[in-house]
Structure 1
């Protein structure tokens, strides 16, 4: 089967390494530069990833979170205890099958999510104001493709 990369012309080829590095750098810098003014206690990247999966998929199980993130069940379970203790996630046992535990974000989690996403947006707005108008337009035009790429990457393997 021919890969998508093999069917592109040199002018269309994407530097996936540069894209990956840029996305990771942006993510790291946005989090670092925006967190201090939120009043939210810092969450590790691993804990934040778990919380974002639960917020995107209320009712998900610990095993499903671990699978989506490609992590060990036991590691997710340990980090999940931090989220439960911080009143950011609730665990609900299924009445019919006590082994099944559904995870749900709390109202506090939703409040923090809104605060953080607002702070992230402000950090990006501040940085992008220093770009050329054409660069801001390029970024805006690429948003649907980046959102689609994020959705494809988030799919369970």
Structure 2
């Protein structure tokens, strides 16, 4: 007699496929829901990623932004130029080395970023609240592992 089906773990391929499908589905669900509640155009995903990075690390350089977002330097520069033009980012010269340009969010970008992130977080909090304590513990336990997967993919492993 074999192992009960509820004890059989799916294979790596099935888990990988599920993660690949789940991540964009979650992101799309968050975006679509937020789009119904915000009264300004939500920045494109790449811009939101840049805003998150600069929000977390004010003074980030264009080179650091390129590395974190895995962009070619010229693409990162074009992204930053567009975001400066749109009033989302401000470039400031480094006090110690005037050749270095540091980035910070404008007040408008900070407010909009925080509004979108607040909605996203609220939706996930409400969904988590609907789960059992055991399910929430499972989600919490998976987070460090998911972060490791992201880091391994970034590193090309």
TM-score bracket, normalised by the shorter chain, equals 0.7 to 0.9
Deviations 1:82-140 (A, max 9, x none): 222232221111234222011112322221122112222344456x38x9744x75145
* Structure with bigger gyration radius: 2
TM-score where L is the length of structure 1:
0.73
Q: Measure, in 1, the Cα distance between the counterparts of 2:141 and 2:38.
A: 28
1:96-135 mapped onto 2 (5 Å cutoff): 96-124=96-124, 128=127, 133-134=131-132
Total equivalences in the alignment: 146
Gap regions ≥5 residues in structure 1: 1-9
Gap regions ≥5 residues in structure 2: 1-7
Among 5, 8, 11, the alignment partner of 2:9 is: 11
1:52-63 mapped onto 2 (5 Å cutoff): 52-63=52-63
TM-score where L is the length of structure 2:
0.73
| Structure of greater relative contact order (alpha carbons < 8 Å, 6+ residues apart) | 1
**1:71, distance to aligned residue in structure 2 (A):** 0.8
Across the aligned residues of Structure 1 and Structure 2, the Cα RMSD in angstroms comes to 3.1
Q: Measure, in 2, the Cα distance between the counterparts of 1:56 and 1:37.
A: 24
Contact 2:48 2:113 in 1 (8 A): no
Q: Measure, in 1, the Cα distance between the counterparts of 2:109 and 2:141.
A: 26
Runs (4+) off by over 6 Å = none
Q: Which moved more, 1:116-125 or 1:45-54?
A: 116-125
**1:81, distance to aligned residue in structure 2 (A):** 1.8
